[in-house]
Amino acid sequence: MAYLTSAPRGTKDILPEETPKWQYLEKTLLETAELFGFREMRIPTFEHTELFSRSVGDTTDVVQKEMYTFTDKGDRSVTLRPEGTAGVARAALEHGLLGDALPLKISYDITCFRYEKPGSGRYREFHQFGVELYGSPSPAADSEVLALAYECFQVLGIQNVALEINSLGCPECRKRYTQALLDYFNQYRGSLCSTCLERLDRNPLRVLDCKSPEDKRIAAGAPSILEYLCDGCKAHFQEVQDRLTAAEIPFRVEPTIVRGLDYYTRTVFEMVHTAPDGERLVCGGGGRYGGLIEELGGNPTEGIGFAMGLERVLSIMTAEGCDFPPEQTCDVYIASMGAAAGVKAFQLANLLRSEGFFAQSDLMGRSVKAQMKYANKIGAKYVIVLGDTELEKGEAQLKSMRNGGTSPIKLDASFSDTVYETIMENAYADLEEAAAELGLPPQDHRH
């Protein structure tokens, strides 16, 4: 029965009290990316399995261990997307977007699925905000994408996130580096875990990514990729750094970053948050991918992008006490006594909503006392009570729940205008009071 009342392991419900934070976070990130020219794309939740094994790489943990893959009723192997880059690249190719005006700049805000051991910021279903930029081999594109990553944290008010950057070189540098890694790790064949022994034969770079403490210790002494970069890759990486420095975007070079996905060439990076107790959390990552589009059947086209894990970003924002916009609360609650007043309350609440107010009336058949209690509980700013007398007179009182002040209000065509004027009057009065408390000279805000 627990299956009916608890969500699957590694998944999380986002309850109504949390959704305003999510909406704010997602809107802010998409709008920030828009300022850099990125437009949102929405891609399917599942794709043909081969798309991920070809792009993410079939020696990666993501493909080998973490994919939610199943055979559908048409006997096709499909996979819930473990990330967004492959799907966006597939869609860009499918719809011919890479032939149009380049660079192509795409943003996305998606759920992803990885069969990982849940815990410390790891989920099986999680959210990514990401961007992909296609068509520019220039370091200018790398710096622009890094600048956006930095700006995202700035606008959210997050302090302790650092950009750690590295270069994985081109296939030529990688060939020489792979050989150097093989030579190094071969000395430790007796100590490496069985998975890494396999990795050593198929893709030695993956050994640098192993989570086992012993392998990590061995990997710490491995040669650095930066010593194996060709002149072109070195110059590219240097220009990325020079541009970041010129724009005063803080970063640090971290030669141990290899990333867990296979498609990267040249610049790679991670966004790392360090808590006051020193705990590090990688809340985003990305890099350049030179061969991906070709691998998927397109003309050679360079891409670069990043994705951040939104569960992690939100947990950092909460830990750092970042500001979120105040939640919307009810502007006007219309309480009523009796059937006729109930209908009038519904009619007036509806009228207010069509004018853009947040308005509610009773749906539970409660007493006026209980309705007032409810209005208080939901934080209604104003209440109106309707009974027989009010209906007969065609007039009621609009009461401020903050200071108890009341204003008469006609239940006719002027109703929503009067609500608007009263709310504005009170807002100005509050503003003037706050200004006076701060010792600011009085001003006429009404015009």
Bridge partners (DSSP) listed for residue 289:
303
Taking a C-beta distance cutoff of 8 angstroms, is the pair 181, 158 a contact? no
End-to-end CA distance of the chain: 63
**From the CB of 400, what's the least distance to ligand HAM, in Å?**
45
User: Which of 8/356 has CB closer to ligand HAM?
Assistant: 8
Binding site for ligand HAM (CB under 6 A): 83-85, 114, 116, 121-123, 126, 128, 130, 132, 260-261, 282-287, 305-309, 311-312
**From the CB of 317, what's the least distance to ligand HAM, in Å?**
13
**From the CB of 330, what's the least distance to ligand HAM, in Å?**
35
User: Which of 122/366 has CB closer to ligand HAM?
Assistant: 122
User: Which of 122/243 has CB closer to ligand HAM?
Assistant: 122
Taking a C-beta distance cutoff of 8 angstroms, is the pair 83, 259 a contact? no
Q: Which runs of consecutive H residues, i.e. helices, occur in 157-190? A: 171-186
Encoded amino acid at 340, one letter: A
Taking a C-beta distance cutoff of 8 angstroms, is the pair 208, 304 a contact? no
Q: Residue 106: CA atoms inside 13 Å, Cβ hemisphere, count? A: 26
User: Which of 127/399 has CB closer to ligand HAM?
Assistant: 127
User: Which of 10/255 has CB closer to ligand HAM?
Assistant: 10
User: Which of 304/330 has CB closer to ligand HAM?
Assistant: 304
Residue 228 to residue 174: CA distance in whole angstroms? 8
**From the CB of 312, what's the least distance to ligand HAM, in Å?**
5
**Residue with token string 């670069």:** 304
**Beta strand segments in 248-365, E:** 252-253, 267-274, 280-289, 303-309, 332-336, 359-361
Residue 371 to residue 361: CA distance in whole angstroms? 9
Taking a C-beta distance cutoff of 8 angstroms, is the pair 304, 145 a contact? yes
Residue 209 to residue 259: CA distance in whole angstroms? 7
Encoded amino acid at 397, one letter: Q
**From the CB of 315, what's the least distance to ligand HAM, in Å?**
10
User: Which of 164/390 has CB closer to ligand HAM?
Assistant: 164
**From the CB of 65, what's the least distance to ligand HAM, in Å?**
12
**From the CB of 180, what's the least distance to ligand HAM, in Å?**
25
Q: Which residue is nearest to ligand HAM (CB)?
A: 309
**Torsion angle in degrees (nearest 10) through CA of 153, 154, 158, 159:** 120
Nearest to 332 by CA among 368, 358, 370, 369: 358
Q: How many CB atoms lie within 10 A of CB 424?
A: 12
Taking a C-beta distance cutoff of 8 angstroms, is the pair 256, 205 a contact? no
**From the CB of 131, what's the least distance to ligand HAM, in Å?**
7
User: Which of 126/382 has CB closer to ligand HAM?
Assistant: 126
Using alpha carbons, list the distances in angstroms from residue 2 to 5, 15, 394: 5, 20, 55
Q: How many CB atoms lie within 10 A of CB 4?
A: 5
Q: Within its chain, how far is the Cα of 148 from the centroid?
A: 13
User: Which of 311/390 has CB closer to ligand HAM?
Assistant: 311
**From the CB of 385, what's the least distance to ligand HAM, in Å?**
49
User: Which of 12/366 has CB closer to ligand HAM?
Assistant: 12
SS3 (DSSP) at 309: strand
**Torsion angle in degrees (nearest 10) through CA of 5, 11, 16, 20:** 180
**From the CB of 271, what's the least distance to ligand HAM, in Å?**
7
User: Which of 168/380 has CB closer to ligand HAM?
Assistant: 168
**From the CB of 243, what's the least distance to ligand HAM, in Å?**
19
